[in-house]
Amino acid sequence: MKRHLYTADHEQFREVVREFVARAVAGNLQRWDRDRLIDRDVWLAAGKQGVIGLSAPEEYGGAGQHGDYRYRNIVLEEFAKVHATALASSFSLQDDIAIPYVTALGTAAQKRRWLPPMASGERIGGIAMTEPGTGSDLRGVRTSGRKVDGGWVVNGAKTFITSGINADLVITVVRTAPEGGSRGFSLLVVERDMPGFTRGRKLDKVGLHAQDTAELFYDDVFVPDENVLGELGGGLKQLAGLLPLERLSIAAHAVAVATAVLADTLAYTNERHAFGQPIADFQNTRFELASMATEIDVTRAFVDQAILAHGEGELSVVDAAKAKLFASEMQNRVIDRCLQLHGGYGYMLEYPVGRAFQDARIQRIFGGANEIMKEIIGRDLVGRR
């Protein structure tokens, strides 16, 4: 079935991304995995090439494509082809979460100050929600902000923070009114060199080894009033309003990765012989490949429509949850079956399918665990808020 998502302009941009991947990404993947860190040079190179900053407005040095996620989707697709999963996830945080938060909620002064270096890759953004004692339940956040003259004194700890080591600007969920209920939380931008703000361990994860995920600590960190992002006390509402884009990003990434892994597996089953014939000649193999190709194509059709709906300002919280839920589950199913078709070699990390198997598991957890996606969808179905 012909895909109608992209225009000629999008395909021209794809060539730019392909050149960037060949020059600055493909040859560094093993080193980044070994170092457990993506060096900042690739961020700067991406900024110069226009591969990041896509969602930032043009007047602040970006591409001004926040409403057209097709450009971001091309980045995800081209990164997936070389299995640059950790880099794709890191760039998604920048372009699909951090920059949109500043763009949507920031004052004119904040945008002038933060967006240009974020669009150029000079400054890396992060968002700190999760705490050691809380996961998807953000109402349980205990990191606190005490009002003082000119700002807030923040104390607390966060964990599982993507780009936690590299991040220069960390949008932090802080309880600013202990008795305020859902209105008791605000978003405060904590900057790298603020006294009392420290990084803990770079966490050793099941997958996404090159991506720096860390603990963060706030010990009497003074955050000036000009670093309050959006409405004071409106943190949870603001987070809810921007989560659909994050979940669309996860869904789009899932489709891109599953497509790439299936392509690798198709090549492998044609090249690998058993019992005197290519593995692809066995009926079970063909049935597995057919089932996976169908799952991917059907999921892609829904995600493509979600991408277009986002561009029209019509992507609902429920539809974003459906995309994230189904695409991430599909990704894990497909990669598991592809690994099985590789046999023992699939269990070796020298083969991309093994690394993809490790990397895919988090997709069902971050951006809101899939159980939360089911709750969102289920509540909508039965008419509950």
Catalytic residues: 246
User: Radius of gyration of the chain from Cα atoms?
Assistant: 21
Q: Dihedral of CA 267/273/278/284: which sign?
A: negative
Do the bridges between strand 273-274 and strand 213-224 make them parallel or antiparallel, or are there none, so unpaired?
unpaired
Closest CA to 263 of 369, 325, 353: 353
Dist CA 16 CA 339 (whole Å): 31
Dist CA 169 CA 191 (whole Å): 5
Q: Which H or E run contains 187?
A: strand 185-191
| Cβ-proximal residues to 357 (8 Å cutoff; 6+ apart), any chain | 207, 335, 336, 339, 346
CB 108 within 8 A of CB 60: no
SS3 144: strand
Farthest-apart Cα atoms in the chain, separation: 79
Count of CB atoms situated within 10 Å of the CB of 34: 10
Q: At what angle do helices 70-81 and 235-271 cross, to 10 degrees?
A: 40
Residue type at position 259: T
